[in-house]
Chains A and B, each alone.
Chain A
Amino acid sequence: MKMVLLLRKIKQHRWYKELAKPFLEADDIPADPFGDLQTTENLLSVWEVHEDRSNLVRVVRAVAMGGQRIDHTGYILFDSVHLDAAGIELQQNEGRSDDKGANGWHRDLVLSGKKLLALAKLLLEHGETGTITKPELVDAVEEGIRSGELPESCRKKRSGG
């Protein structure tokens, strides 16, 4: 499998490595991160991020636009190379975000219960978390509307409408 970076939307505080460390040392993992790994028909939505991360904010913006309003948005990034070891299949399925140009970066992970557990563990061990703040996303949405990457209708989400 070609190495790519994958991104999943999360709430960052559920994934603090320092707090997960005692669990990992005991060959276990905390339960909170599972709250961010909800599957639909055994598929988990993720997005591909370029190796130089040049599309990181655009991808987070696409994910954030799926919410009711623009808000601070947490994410976890991980190297797809770890999926092989866990036997997790990666499918290329078109996304459905407002950013049509970003939808080609959408992927799905095919999971079972055991694979979900393995994924949570590999994310805690190898994942890198971050948060793009609301003001940054508001700016990115404005820029997206100006450049034509996003439709004008996205502006109403700035104020939660």
Chain B
Amino acid sequence: MSNTDFNETALSPGDKAIQAESSTALPQDTIETSRRRAKWLAALVLGAAISTGQVPPFTHPYGRRREEFPAESSTLAAGVDPVLLQNVKDLFEKGASEFFHDGMDSNFSRSLLSLLGSRAADALSAIAEYLSGNEGNPEVVSEALRWVAEFGGPDTLPKRWSILRRGLKSRFPVVRDGAILGFAALDDPRAHSLLLEARESEQIRELQLLIERVAARLEHRR
């Protein structure tokens, strides 16, 4: 079974993560059996931990994957058109075969802009939802953040801002690079404190310097 013929709407993000990590060579009944067993064991262990007070209740069991691009709100996922979400997924997967250059268009950027042009706010919600599953190729996500930052007017700014802010917290340096450059393109002084906060936790020297450069410009524009 391929990922594309899997019924996305019937699965929780955790199920998707399990499915993504499962070998496609395994028979479906084996996968289902092991999945049920794993869920039963996870529930047992989690229940025991909660009862002893070691784990706060309501922690998402797959939090490690979710924390890269945490969902903005539970209502966001509910409002996303599943067909549009699939289009976004296809677009990002196709983008992984491209090689990006600064200042040059790509098939990915053209398709992304076309999607944003036709469904601006809905497309941004779908992109945010797609990234919340942390499924994307980091280089493609980085490229997307650079384009998303500049697309649209004040009405879509909160959504774009939210997507970029999450990008700053990615574990992939290339994604953080895209988010920083996205904020640089916005050239909005309100991002100053956000960038300084990101600077505090940034470990890559080149990204520290880039943040400082962008923050200095925004400070000057205040």
Interface residues of A (CB under 8 A from B): 9, 11-13, 15-19, 35, 64, 66-74, 129-131, 133-136
Verify B104–A67 contact, CB threshold 8 A.
Answer: yes
Asked whether any CB of chain A lies closer than 8 Å to the CB of B120, the reply is no
Verify A12–B146 contact, CB threshold 8 A.
Answer: no
Bound complex: CA A70 to CA B102 (Å): 9
Interface residues on chain B, number (Cβ under 8 Å): 26
Verify B142–A72 contact, CB threshold 8 A.
Answer: no
Of B103, B142, B185, B203, the contact of A73 (CB 8 Å cutoff)? B103
Verify A73–B102 contact, CB threshold 8 A.
Answer: yes
- A-B residue pairs, 5 tightest by C-beta: A67-B103, A71-B103, A133-B184, A13-B174, A135-B187
Tell me how many residue pairs across A and B have CB atoms closer than 8 Å. Answer: 71
Of B181, B203, B217, the contact of A131 (CB 8 Å cutoff)? B181
Verify A18–B205 contact, CB threshold 8 A.
Answer: yes
Asked whether any CB of chain A lies closer than 8 Å to the CB of B100, the reply is yes
Verify B213–A133 contact, CB threshold 8 A.
Answer: yes
Of A13, A16, A69, A131, the contact of B142 (CB 8 Å cutoff)? A13
Residues on the A chain within 8 Å of B206, using CB = 12-13, 15-17, 129-130
Asked whether any CB of chain A lies closer than 8 Å to the CB of B10, the reply is no
Verify A134–B209 contact, CB threshold 8 A.
Answer: no
Asked whether any CB of chain A lies closer than 8 Å to the CB of B127, the reply is no
Verify A70–B103 contact, CB threshold 8 A.
Answer: yes
Asked whether any CB of chain A lies closer than 8 Å to the CB of B222, the reply is no
Residues on the B chain within 8 Å of A135, using CB = 184-185, 187, 217
Verify A9–B102 contact, CB threshold 8 A.
Answer: yes
Bound complex: CA A72 to CA B102 (Å): 7
B88 to chain A, nearest CB (A): 22
Interface residues of B (CB under 8 A from A): 99-105, 142, 146, 173-174, 177, 181, 184-185, 187, 203-207, 209-210, 213-214, 217
Verify A131–B103 contact, CB threshold 8 A.
Answer: no
Tell whether A68 pairs with B174 under 8 Å between CB atoms, given A129-B206, A133-B214: no
Tell whether A19 pairs with B173 under 8 Å between CB atoms, given A11-B100, A69-B103, A72-B146: yes
Tell whether A12 pairs with B177 under 8 Å between CB atoms, given A17-B205, A136-B217: yes
Bound complex: CA A19 to CA B146 (Å): 22
A136 to chain B, nearest CB (A): 7
Tell whether A18 pairs with B203 under 8 Å between CB atoms, given A11-B101, A13-B173: yes
Bound complex: CA A13 to CA B207 (Å): 9
B177 to chain A, nearest CB (A): 5
Verify A35–B99 contact, CB threshold 8 A.
Answer: yes
Nearest residue, chain B, Cβ from A67: B103
Of B104, B177, B187, B209, the contact of A13 (CB 8 Å cutoff)? B177
Bound complex: CA A129 to CA B207 (Å): 10
Bound complex: CA A43 to CA B29 (Å): 58
Of B99, B185, B205, B217, the contact of A72 (CB 8 Å cutoff)? B185
Bound complex: CA A12 to CA B213 (Å): 14
A50 to chain B, nearest CB (A): 20
Nearest residue, chain A, Cβ from B149: A134
Residues on the B chain within 8 Å of A17, using CB = 205-206
Nearest residue, chain A, Cβ from B182: A72
Bound complex: CA A16 to CA B217 (Å): 23
Nearest residue, chain A, Cβ from B178: A13
